[in-house]
Amino acid sequence: MGTYVPLLKRLIPTQLWHPMSRARYALLRAAQWPAATFHPWRRQSVRLLRAYHNRHLGERCFIIGNGPSLKQTDLSKLKGEMTFGMNRIYLAFEQMGFLPTYYVAINDLVIEQCLREILALPMPKFLSWRSRRFFLNPPDERTIFLHTTYTGPKFATDVGGRLWEGATVTYVALQLAFYMGFQQVILIGVDHSFSTQGKPNTTVVSQGEDRDHFHSNYFGKGFRWQLPDLETSERAYRMAKEAFEMAGRQVLDATVGGKLQVFSKVDYNQLFH
């Protein structure tokens, strides 16, 4: 089907194509629903998630992105703060001097290639339900599967159901932070800028050192990864901003030199006085 999609889009009028596309994606999501609802591993995950609802009501947290700006950010200041680390953040643990409170990964390629390192992390881990296929054994109680999807834009206030990925793990972390009750969420390392160019979501193989993340071996030579979809991410961030503000909460952006313009900017160093 994927091979013929560009041709079909040219042949079918736009006013018909969009409803047809939405219907197709809705059917695909419906097909995923039974396993994501009734599978024993997911049922355990939903049960575990309930314990996190409003656990941090009124507190603040930091969502740590993986951009090059982390090299210009004094991460030691975050020791004692509530933090979300994502994807290969563990490559910065020595620099940080502490472990993040929570860990999030939803990208299939990241989880597949880094599963051993991810499973060794001691903090609660939130992973995409799709990644269950990489597991040889049932997950322990520190591993929680989230039913995330590529389609069906939404901001989930109840993460026990379906979450839209918004083309970035940061958006999933924002939904988790909302569910946990955080009053203020501060982004760092979300540079929202990539030197590697190409069609969004295309899978590529890294040919050398990684210049788009905080560590040269983040997506080092031979690592398979997907090119960013910054436009979809911005749409997701705007939805997050609206959800937080409607609830009387806020998301701030303390990324050093970040290109994202959705959230109010704040000086990182001024947050600790």
Q: How many domains does the chain have?
A: 1
In a domain, 2, yes or no: no
Spans of the chain, pLDDT less than 70: 1-12, 14-31, 33-34, 38
Q: Give the residue among 50, 43, 39 at the shortest CA–CA distance from 159.
A: 50
* 3-state DSSP of the chain: CHHHHHHHHHHCCHHHHHHHHHHHHHHHHHHHHHHHHHCHHHHHHHHHHHCCCCCCCCCEEEEECCCHHHHHCCHHHHCCCEEEEECCHHHHHHHHCCCCCEEEECCHHHHHHHHHHHHHCCCCEEEEHHHHHHCCCCCCCCEEEEEEECCCCCCCCCCCCEEECCCCHHHHHHHHHHHCCCCEEEEECCCCCCCCCCCCCCEEECCCCCCCCCCCCCCCCCCEEECCCHHHHHHHHHHHHHHHHHCCCEEEECCCCCCCCCCEECCHHHHHC
The answer to whether residues 79 and 99 touch, using CB atoms and an 8 Å cutoff, is: no
In a domain, 3, yes or no: no
Cα(152)–Cα(218) distance, rounded to whole angstroms? 30
**Which token pair is 103?**
């860990």
Residue 197: predicted pLDDT? 85
Residue 7: predicted pLDDT? 62
In a domain, 243, yes or no: yes
**Which token pair is 62?**
């930091």
In a domain, 257, yes or no: yes
**Which token pair is 244?**
């937080």
Residue 85 dihedral angles phi and psi, to the nearest 5° = -105, 155
Domain range spanning residue 124? 13-191+199-272
Q: Name 105's bridge partners.
A: 127
Residue 25: predicted pLDDT? 45
Cα(18)–Cα(91) distance, rounded to whole angstroms? 42
Rounded (10°) CA dihedral 242, 244, 249, 252? -80
Encode pLDDT of 72-112 as tens digits. 999 999 999 999 999 999 999 998 999 999 999 999 999 99
What pTM, to 2 d.p., does this model score?
0.90
In a domain, 1, yes or no: no
In a domain, 78, yes or no: yes
In a domain, 42, yes or no: yes
